[in-house]
Chains A and B, each alone.
Chain A
Amino acid sequence: MSATAAASPARPPRPRRSVTVPIGILAFIAITWAALSAEIGIGLDVLEILSDLGNGARIWAEFLEPNWAFLPQTARPMLETVQMAIVASVLGCSLALPVSFLASRVTSPNVVSFVANRGILSVVRAIPDLLYALVFVAAVGIGALAGVLALLLFSIGVTAKLLSETVDGVDAGPIESARASGGGRLQIVRWSVLPQVLPNYVAYSLYVFELNVRASTVIGLVGAGGIGRLLNTERVYFRYENVSVIVIELFLFVFLIELGSIWLRRRLV
């Protein structure tokens, strides 16, 4: 009997229970409790929000009757929004190209320049676009210039970070062959590195343009030009029927740009 029974392998030992998971869950619960409580955090009360839905409904009813006669007045600010996004994206992506080569381990001339550029980039990226807009409005006054500058810095930060990491990962073969045939640093970048990262660069640029389109609609809220400025005026005077027109317009605008950008990116990749 026992001879015919297949020798079953010993049961594998149960993996040791990890201590980090319970600790992580406890920390998560504690932070969430703190964040929700009124004393420490923001004081979110679901029941109160539900009972306040009625207030919202009254205001939303005004949104449902957009004042289409307002539409012509939005044309100029809308145009300015598009202009800001285009100018900032093209300038930003162009300036980001040399910056990303300086901020990559592969192409940076020395460690100091690499570390300095990476460091500056992470500081530039830590500040959101709207805070740049606030600072530039304080510097150059209300208008499209402040908006372009804010979007410009933001675009450089994003593009240069993405591209410098792509440059880090390029195939070393073409670099070696360019060096072996006597290429200088700039020539190596031009003929060995750039062709490898160009498709990514185009994709990142499109993506940054999309980000700028979104951002350019709102930075006007702090005075940096574009449709956001008009939105803010209408908002503070509680003219919700006009705000509604702007919001519908913004929605269509952002939606269409994104569809176009996704389509283009599919074709490129």
Chain B
Amino acid sequence: MTAIAVPARPERPSNAKRNLGIAAVAVAFGTALLTIDMDGIEELPYAIGRLFYRIFLERPPDWTYLGTAGEFMLESIWIAWVGTIIGATISLPIGFFGAKNVSSGLVSNIVRQVLNAIRAFPELILVIVVFIPIAGLGAVAGALAVGLHSVGTLGKLTAEVVESIDAGPVEAARAAGGRPLQIQRWGVLPQVLPEVVAFWLYRFEINIRAAAILGVVGAGGIGFLLQETLNYRRYDKASVVILVVIVGTIAVDIVSGWVRRRIIEGAGARRTTADELEQPELIEGASEQIARP
């Protein structure tokens, strides 16, 4: 008989923002889909099937081409390696200048904006506009472009890691009479180095993919080969090139991923702790969520 006092039902949270977001995406998508000029969509399944047939079935892959394809893939790997080293070397000091706690607020803001500007240019644009005019066609122009773009991403990440350090060692170095450079060397660098080196390796993995495409504008690497074989309809060779790109990229990813885990966690450590670091793509865009201790 004693009625239990039922608390008032909580109010339903508003869905207005969510619905607005969904509506905005739907409108943008609808407009784009209705206005975009997609010639040939009605023949799409046929066209894809035809290409698949030509590449994989019409003639068996020309395995004698494996050597040439391997050489060009190796050139892509060299480009990525050199580009990553250029990016790492330049971005390390720049990252310190871009961190509020090391440099001043004004300097770090300027450095961050410059880095943002660099990152807005894809490697392909950098190579066309900046580096082919200097170095001419070839792998050197490609490596320089990959390097400059890497400075943009690595500098930003380094700055974020430096900002998130523990202040204790810095104070200790200062208390022990360290000069500014010594404070950075002994108070900051050891704290950030493992994470920063892991970023370098990530960048290397991303750069492999960038270096694989630079060839289409003549900046070295395997992209050139794929363009040539497809343009001349040598599908038996194109299939070998595609295979080499896939195998080469995955092999580099595996080796680099193993080294990275060793650096971050030491030998024999569990791999679960570096969960965020397992998402290389997010490093570029959403690093502000990741680069926290």
Contacts and interface: CB of A to CB of B under 8 A. Distances in A.
B125 A250 contact: yes
Q: Tell me the interface secondary structure of chain B in the complex.
A: helix
A122 interface: yes
Contacts of B286: 203, 207, 265
Interface in B6-53: 25, 28-29, 32-33, 35-41, 43-44, 47-48, 50-51
A129 B246 CA distance: 13
A144 B117 CA distance: 28
A211 B81 contact: no
A221 B124 contact: yes
Given A35-B78, A126-B246, A218-B122, A52 B38 contact: no
Interface stretch (B95-103, B104-112, B179-187, B274-282): B274-282
Instruction: Give chain A's interface residue range (CB within 8 Å of chain B).
Output: 35 or more
B157 interface: no
A143 B40 contact: yes
A204 B286 CA distance: 9
Nearest to B81: A35
Interface string B225-240: 0110010000000100
A188 to B, nearest CB: 23
Nearest to A76: B37
B40 to A, nearest CB: 5
B167 interface: no
Q: Tell me the interface secondary structure of chain A in the complex.
A: helix
A172 interface: no
A265 B285 CA distance: 10
A44 B36 contact: no
A195 interface: no
A49 B29 contact: no
B82 interface: yes
A56 interface: yes
Given A42-B75, A55-B133, A56-B133, 19 more contacts: A32-B81, A35-B82, A42-B82, A42-B142, A44-B143, A52-B134, A59-B133, A87-B33, A87-B36, A128-B209, A130-B124, A137-B230, A139-B47, A140-B43, A145-B38, A215-B122, A221-B217, A251-B120, A254-B120
CB-CB nearest 8 A-B residue pairs: A56-B134, A139-B51, A42-B139, A130-B213, A59-B133, A126-B249, A83-B36, A86-B32
